[in-house]
Every structure is written in structure tokens, then in C-alpha cells.
Amino acid sequence: MQQPLAYRMRPTNIDNVLGQQHLVGPGKIIRRMVDAKRLASMILYGPPGTGKTSIASAIAGSTKYAFRILNAATDSKKDLEIVVEEAKMSGTVILLLDEVHRLNKVKQDFLLPHLENGRIILIGATTENPYISISPAIRSRVQIFEVKPLIQEDMILGLERAIKDETNGLGKLSIEIPQDVLTHFASVTNGDIRSALNALELAILSTAANDEGKIVITKEIAEECLQRKRLTHDKDGDAHYDVISALQKSIRGSDVNAALYYLAILMEAGELIIACRRLLIIAYEDIGLGNPAATERTVAAVQAAEKVGLPEAAIPLAYAVSELALSPKSNTTYRAFNDAMQDVRSGKGGPVPDHIKDGHYLGAKKLNRSVGYQYPHSYPGHWVKQQYLPDNLKNREYFQAEPTGKYEAALNQFYQNIRQQS
């Protein structure tokens, strides 16, 4: 059985890796490790189809080491034991462990000593943030590198290679594909080269040759195989960012119809992750204290969308977009934090006042730490007047509310009451 095109086109040399120049470019970290033949275990994380497996394959192809692929979720401890036994015989094995964030404790405990002695060079691949999803025991023994979505130029290069390659690609076929159609394959798959190659292969293998013996791929064929339309974009390709910007500004401007329209564009383009991230930012930046419950429900909607995936993910996201657009708006906390950050970055800060420094250690009182601190819960209303900001900022006010909803109005009233007593 012939493997899919995306599998066949995996690079066998680091020079053939698409994109990721921040890792494999001249003088960059993975390139240096390969050139020096001093490999270290690592975790590669990033969106699907961005080249994590390709980098691992290229590293193995650029070295003398054996290369094995396992899945942390589906392969057993016995499978790991087989790889380790091979490493004991051959010296070192590069192990690509897909979905490494799903490695259970039993498999992890078995693997750890072999990472420490260098017998196994682990290349873990994951779409999850390793600083959150990977156990500290694994993280402390590996380097962590982010793999980024491919830019359009790299996507086109990968597609062109596949069309011309007579050994692993489609080079033995007579193919005619206009540049704008090739660009279409590259642009709507959002940096996912695997999806683009799979769609290209489907288009070519499912299209009959014409009278001249050529397989002609049109934009209509491409769209059918991709099952998504390309976003209308200008010559600079900024539509991707323009739509995201338009979504946020429509919600901020309380135009629910426009907001739903721009969400629909993102969903049609398969931009689930981007839409989820942006809605979380909008909820906290633009709605905030105006309707905290809407923010909480947005978080729940994003979690639901991520679990169900496309196309149904659009349903909870449309719910969140509608509520955010029609909610009272407040950027009070956004402005307040920015003002505080500006003071920090401009060097206007100062030392923490002694009376609120940590006093939970022997000798703290001798250093005047926490001496004179007044415990607010011991006073009426759970508040007592005392200084918290550094001396040179003690009268600084970052929180300046402009309430549009009952919740923020209540918080602001409490704040004003405290100010009057201060």
C-alpha cells in the first residue's frame, strides 16, 4: 500500500526542512546540534502539519542514529522497551514520540533514566503548550522548541517539490496547475503543509487527464478537494489579519451582525484556534468588568468549541460572539494594567514597603519585614488604611472606572468609598 504524499515527502535531510529557520537555519540551535553531532532530547510543539515530524525525520536522516516513531497515547510500555533494547545494542536511538503530552506516569518513569544516560534521544511532538501539558520531570530533561505555521512561500515550495519529485512525489505524472491555484492550496490551509499535500494529491489522483494526457487542476477542483473557500485577500495577503481585526472591532462596537459575519469567514477558513484565542482576548480586553459573566461563558464556549472541533465548534463560538457584542463594554482593567506596566517599564517603581514584605522566616523581624502590617480582616468592613504601593508611587491611581454595567458600578462605588477614607 502506497503511503500518502505528505508521508512520502518528509525530508531526510535537515537542509530540506520547510520553514522553521529559527530552528534549522544557519547557526540556529537544531542546525548546530546536527552539525556538531551533539543531539539533545527536545519537545517540538506547534499546530498540526507544521513540520514537527519532518524535523525529527530530518535530524535522523542527517545523523547515523536509528529512528523510531511511537505514539504516547496508543503505544504501550512494551513498545518503549523494544526501542530501549535496540538502543542498548546499537548505542543510541532517536525516538519520535507523538502526542508526548499524553505520556502516562508508568511510561514516563520507564523512559526517564534512558533520557538521562543518552541512550534515547527523545523528540516529543505535541500541539499542546508543553509548559502546561508536559510533566516537570520530562520538561527538566529536554529542550523545548516552538514550531510555527509555515508562511505561504514555504507552503508553495513544498507543493512544488511534491509535483516535481519523481521518486516520492508526483513527478511521473503530467500535471498542469496554474500558479494562482497552487497559491490557493497554500493559502487556505493556514500553514498546515500536510493538509495542503493531502488535498493536492486528492485533486490530482481524482482528476482524469485531458485529450493531451495532462491532468489540469482548476481552482474549482482545488476548492472541492480542500472543502473550504479561500478568503478574499489583497495582493499583500493581509486578509487573514484584517478579518481577525474586524471581528474584534465589530464586537467592541456592538455590531453583532458584522461580528457574526467575520466569525463565519474564520470558520469557513478553518481558523478555529485563531478564533478561540481572539475571543478570549476580546472578552477580557473589551467587555471585562462590563459583564464578567459573559467573559466566563466565553471561556466555556471556547472550551466546548475546542472539544467538539469543526464544523460544530462554530455553534458555541457564535453564542459567545453574540453575547460579547451585545454586552456592556469596559476596558477599565486593560487600561489600568497598561498604565501600571508603563510605570514598571519606565523605571518609576520602587521597593516593596517593609510592612508588607514576607515575614514568614527566621530573622524577618530583625530586618523589619512585615513589622507593622495591619491584617484587614481584623477590622470593620475588612479594610484598614495602610500603604501598599512603593513610596514614590503611593498616590498613583491606575484604576479609573467608567461603568457601563451594574457590576463595575458596584466595584467602582467600593473603590470610591475606600478612596474617601484614605
Confidence grade of residue 234 (pLDDT, cut at 50, 70, 90):
very low
Cis peptide before 130 (omega within 30 of 0): no
Per-residue pLDDT reduced to its tens digit, 392-408: 999 999 999 988 889 99
Query: How much is the pLDDT for 315?
Result: 96
pLDDT at 306 over 50: yes
Residue 307, all three cell numbers: 472539544
Residue 197: exposed, middle, or buried by beta-carbon count in 10 A (0-12, 13-18, 19+)?
A: buried
> How far apart, in whole angstroms, are the C-alpha atoms of residue 22 and residue 14?
13
pLDDT at 335 over 60: yes
Query: How much is the pLDDT for 62?
Result: 82
pLDDT at 233 over 60: no
Sorted by sequence, the CB contacts under 8 Å of residue 394 that are 6+ apart come out as 387
Per-residue pLDDT reduced to its tens digit, 40-80: 899 998 888 888 888 888 888 888 788 888 998 898 999 99
C-alpha of 341 from chain center:
25
Q: Smallest Cα–Cα separation from 391: which of 420, 419, 350?
A: 350
Query: How much is the pLDDT for 263?
Result: 95
pLDDT at 362 over 60: yes
Per-residue pLDDT reduced to its tens digit, 117-168: 888 889 998 888 888 778 888 888 889 998 888 888 999 999 999 999 999 8
Once rounded to an integer, what is the mean pLDDT over residues 194-204?
Answer: 90
Query: How much is the pLDDT for 136?
Result: 87
Computed over every residue of the chain, the mean pLDDT equals 88
pLDDT at 237 over 50: no
Query: How much is the pLDDT for 235?
Result: 33
Alpha-carbon distances of 36 from 29, 30, 40, 94, 314, rounded to whole Å: 11, 10, 11, 16, 48
What whole-number percentage of the chain has pLDDT above 90? 38
Confidence grade of residue 239 (pLDDT, cut at 50, 70, 90):
low
Query: How much is the pLDDT for 228?
Result: 54
Query: How much is the pLDDT for 115?
Result: 87
Beta carbons within 10 angstroms of residue 320's beta carbon: 28
> How far apart, in whole angstroms, are the C-alpha atoms of residue 217 and residue 202?
11
Once rounded to an integer, what is the mean pLDDT over residues 335-360?
Answer: 91
Once rounded to an integer, what is the mean pLDDT over residues 185-206?
Answer: 87
Per-residue pLDDT reduced to its tens digit, 265-280: 899 888 888 899 999 9
Query: How much is the pLDDT for 296?
Result: 96
Sorted by sequence, the CB contacts under 8 Å of residue 313 that are 6+ apart come out as 267, 272, 304, 305, 306
Query: How much is the pLDDT for 7?
Result: 87
**Which residue reads 461603568 in cell numbers?**
403
Query: How much is the pLDDT for 232?
Result: 44
> How far apart, in whole angstroms, are the C-alpha atoms of residue 356 and residue 193?
54
**In order of start, what are the domains of the chain with their CATH numbers?**
5-146 (3.40.50.300), 152-226 (1.10.8.60), 239-326 (1.20.272.10), 347-421 (1.10.3710.10)
Query: How much is the pLDDT for 240?
Result: 66
Q: Smallest Cα–Cα separation from 17: which of 46, 47, 48, 57?
A: 57
